[in-house]
């Protein structure tokens, strides 16, 4: 079976907006979420800025539709907010949800909540209730929580493949639809900022204390962020029965592992080239047909060089317009792939290309440069979105206008 896969709705929350319209307005207005940490408790609050959602956990409960004190992690709350918007966007009924799947990605899960009680666990004189927070360390806990709230029973899955996680969650859902295992599946990812993540990236010396500059010769690293985004994928048969209009088609996708290094891509971008090429081949599309690429573009020395080399290798002298949107939202880890997938859908719908802000000087190793000004009224039909992760994971998604 080889059913086409369509997107009928989406939801998103990031540091630049609590829903789709707010995110779009920020992207169009070049408004970013970069700044001092206010919510995360860390000794680096004044020295390691990031793209933080300026709502505490209690304030997230209302838009998530969860009573305060119900024990949901920040990761789960962010996920629920985005999923609920996706459900509304796709006009899914409770009956639709009962027969749908949910595939969610995360890297942090409940690490943030565990951090608050870590010292208590180490103290033998303190009696710590096991279910109160240790269960949330399981990456799948947030998915099960969200599925319970939404009444999803057909299929529940969790993906954790570093920063390619939510792109791989979307691919997993697409494969299940193509093989007739599901007619409808909600796919995406959610991650909350945590001290472990902040300290981990800081120890690798790849955090920029200033606003990140993807693809710039003077880039100094990435900015972390938090957020969530989910797409509603449906088969052609389900779409025909509902009579809904699809927002776009997930025409192609590919993921692989180049196995070069634990935390760095190959200098030539071997994995990135293969992921993009195989996504295009699956979609039956020639490279010259791609109108825009939402680049992974983290702002680190290794990533931007590898991705830039990959773009030149695959597209030759005709590299499409490309840009990174991470200066807006920060690198949202597991949620990056689905957040940027939503931005691709916005670009297709509104005919815009979002600029790669902060870019000043081209990289000496590359002959290409990203789009630096907002482009409007652009005829966009096919968009590639790249997501690369630690451990050598590379993923590319191909979205096409219906």
List, by residue number, the catalytic residues. Answer: 163, 296, 331
DSSP-derived pairing of the beta strands 292-294 and 382-388: parallel
Query: Which pairs count as long-range contacts for 342-345, CB under 8 Å and 24+ apart, including other chains?
Result: 342/10, 342/11, 342/12, 342/20, 342/23, 342/229, 342/231, 343/23, 343/27, 343/294, 344/292, 344/294, 344/383, 344/385, 344/397, 344/399, 345/7, 345/10, 345/231, 345/247, 345/248, 345/399
Q: Which of 285, 287, 365, 294 is CA-nearest to residue 323?
A: 294
Burial of 314 (0-12, 13-18, 19+ CB in 10 A): buried
Place of tokens 């990174």: 324
CA distance 251 to 112: 36
Q: Which residues pair with 193 in a beta bridge?
A: none
CA distance 20 to 10: 8
Backbone angles phi, psi at 224, to 5 degrees: -80, 160
- Say if residues 267 and 301 touch (Cβ distance below 8 Å): no
- Say if residues 201 and 163 touch (Cβ distance below 8 Å): no
Sign (positive/negative) of CA torsion 38, 41, 46, 47? negative
């Amino acid at each position: 079976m080889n059913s086409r896969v369509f997107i009928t709705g989406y939801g998103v929350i990031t540091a630049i907006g609590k829903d789709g319209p707010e995110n779009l307005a920020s992207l169009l207005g070049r408004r970013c979420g970069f700044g001092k940490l206010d919510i995360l408790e860390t000794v680096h609050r004044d020295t390691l800025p990031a793209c933080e959602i300026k709502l505490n956990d209690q304030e997230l409960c209302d838009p998530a539709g969860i009573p305060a004190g119900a024990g949901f992690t920040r990761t789960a709350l962010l996920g629920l907010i985005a999923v609920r918007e996706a459900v509304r966007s796709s006009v899914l009924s409770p009956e639709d949800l009962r027969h749908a799947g949910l595939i969610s990605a995360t890297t942090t899960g409940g690490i943030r909540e565990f951090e608050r009680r870590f010292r208590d666990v180490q103290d033998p004189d303190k009696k710590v209730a096991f279910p109160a927070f240790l269960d949330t360390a399981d990456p799948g806990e947030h998915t099960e929580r969200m599925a319970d709230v939404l009444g999803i029973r057909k299929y529940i899955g969790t993906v954790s493949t570093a920063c390619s996680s939510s792109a791989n969650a979307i691919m997993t859902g697409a494969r299940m639809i193509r093989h007739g295992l599901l007619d409808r599946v909600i796919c995406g990812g959610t991650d909350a900022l945590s001290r472990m993540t902040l300290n981990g990236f800081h120890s690798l010396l790849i955090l920029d204390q200033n606003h990140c500059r993807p693809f710039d010769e003077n880039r100094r690293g990435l900015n972390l962020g938090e957020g969530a985004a989910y797409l509603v994928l449906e088969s052609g048969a389900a779409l025909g029965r509902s009579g809904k209009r699809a927002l776009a088609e997930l025409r192609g996708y590919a993921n692989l592992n180049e196995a070069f290094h634990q935390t760095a891509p190959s200098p030539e971008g071997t994995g990135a080239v293969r992921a993009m090429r195989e996504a295009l081949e699956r979609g039956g599309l020639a490279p010259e047909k791609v109108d825009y690429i939402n680049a992974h573009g983290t702002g680190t020395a290794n990533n931007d060089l590898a991705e830039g080399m990959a773009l030149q290798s695959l597209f030759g002298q005709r590299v499409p317009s490309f840009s990174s949107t991470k200066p807006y939202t920060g690198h949202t880890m597991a949620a990056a792939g689905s957040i940027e997938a939503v931005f691709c859908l916005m670009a297709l719908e509104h005919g815009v290309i979002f600029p790669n802000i902060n870019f000043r000087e081209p990289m000496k190793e590359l002959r290409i440069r990203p789009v630096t000004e907002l482009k409007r009224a652009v005829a966009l039909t096919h968009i590639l979105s790249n997501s690369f992760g630690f451990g050598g994971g590379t993923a590319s998604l191909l979205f096409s206008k219906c």
